């Protein structure tokens, strides 16, 4: 079952910031005639893939999705907030925090942030 994505303003700003940094890094790389992708490009690609997999299947094994208890559900006081991995085994690895809702076939992305 595919889900429609909703974003909190904070999550959307962070996603857009990561995308802009990746595009700027790619432009600089092309101007310098280098072929290896930058850290910013790789990070955005990983976050983008995580968001795409969440929309398609939030239980995808590569996401390592699990409940996260330090954040509160936006729409249901008894609902769960989940954490999905965008990166693994990386210092400050990025995570995507999300919850189901508000509609039955929607996922709301709450935050995109490096792991503390």
Looking at the domain assignment, is residue 34 inside a domain? no
Domain of residue 16: give its range.
Answer: 4-29+39-114
* Tens digits of residue pLDDT in 11-67: 999 999 999 999 999 999 888 888 888 889 999 999 999 999 999 999 999 999 999
Domain count, the chain: 1
* Residue 15 domain flag: yes
- For the purposes of burial, counting CB atoms within 10 Å of the CB of 47, is it exposed (0-12), middle (13-18) or buried (19 or more)? buried
> Does 62 reside within a domain?
yes
Nearest to 41 by CA among 53, 56, 24: 24
| Whole-number average pLDDT of the chain | 92
Phi first, then psi, for residue 96 (nearest 5°) are: -115, 120
Is 100 a domain residue? yes
In this structure, is residue 8 part of a structural domain? yes
Contacts of 115 (CB under 8 A, 6+ apart): 92, 93, 94, 95
Per-residue confidence (pLDDT) for residue 23, from 0 to 100: 95
* pLDDT at position 84: 96
Over range 104-109, report the average pLDDT.
94
49 in a domain, yes or no?
yes
Write the CB contacts of 55 (distance below 8 Å, at least 6 apart in sequence): 2, 3, 4, 5, 107
Q: Which helix (H) or strand (E) holds 44?
A: helix 39-56
Q: Kindly report the CATH number assigned to the domain that includes residue 63.
A: 3.30.2310.20
């Amino acid at each position: 079952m595919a889900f429609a994505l909703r974003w909190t303003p904070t999550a959307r700003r962070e996603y857009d910031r990561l995308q802009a940094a990746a595009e700027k890094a790619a432009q600089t790389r092309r101007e310098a005639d280098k072929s290896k992708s930058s850290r910013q490009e790789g990070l955005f690609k990983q976050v983008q893939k995580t968001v795409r997999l969440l929309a398609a299947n939030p239980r995808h094994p590569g996401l390592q999705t699990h409940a996260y208890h330090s954040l509160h559900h936006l729409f249901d006081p008894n609902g769960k907030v989940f954490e999905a991995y965008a990166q693994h085994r990386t210092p400050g690895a990025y995570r995507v925090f999300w919850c189901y809702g508000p509609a039955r076939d929607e996922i709301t992305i709450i935050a995109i942030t490096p792991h503390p």
